[in-house]
Amino acid sequence: MIFGVGMDIIEVSRVSRNLSRTSGLKDRLFTPAEIAYCESKLRSAEHFAARFAAKEAFLKALGTGWRGGLRFDEIEILNDERGRPKAVVHGRVKEFCEANRIVAKHVSLTHVKETAAAVVVLETNTD
C-alpha cells in the first residue's frame, strides 16, 4: 500500500550557489558517499541538485517535512549496481520508516543544465 508520494524540483544554480557560499553546508546535507559520487561527475552541481530534490521529496512522502528532527544527511541517495537511484535511511528517518512499516522506497531523479527534479514513492506493509 502507498504510504506517501513526494515530488520536488529545484534550480541547479541555486543549489550550486548555496553549496559554494555556505561553509560546511555540503557536509550537513550530503553523506560522504553522495559527495564522492557527485564530485566524480563532470556536472557535479546537477547531481547534487537531484539528490537535494530527492531528499525534499522523501520528506514530503513521509508527510513530515523538516519536523521531528529529521535531517537531510539521514536520507542517502545512492545508486544500485545498475545505476538506478535508491534511498538508504539512517537515524531518526530510519526509526520513522520502521515505526510506520515502510518496506519499499522508490526514487526517480532527473536533471538537465538548469533544473533537477525527483519523485519518491514510499510503500508500507499494513499486515
Q: Catalytic site residues? A: 60, 111
Contacts of 82 (CB under 8 A, 6+ apart): none
Check if the beta carbon of residue 85 is closer than 8 Å to that of residue 55: no
- Strand 85-89 and strand 102-111: the pairing is unpaired
d(CA 110, CA 12): 11
- Angle formed at CA 80 by CA 75 and CA 84, multiple of 5 degrees: 85
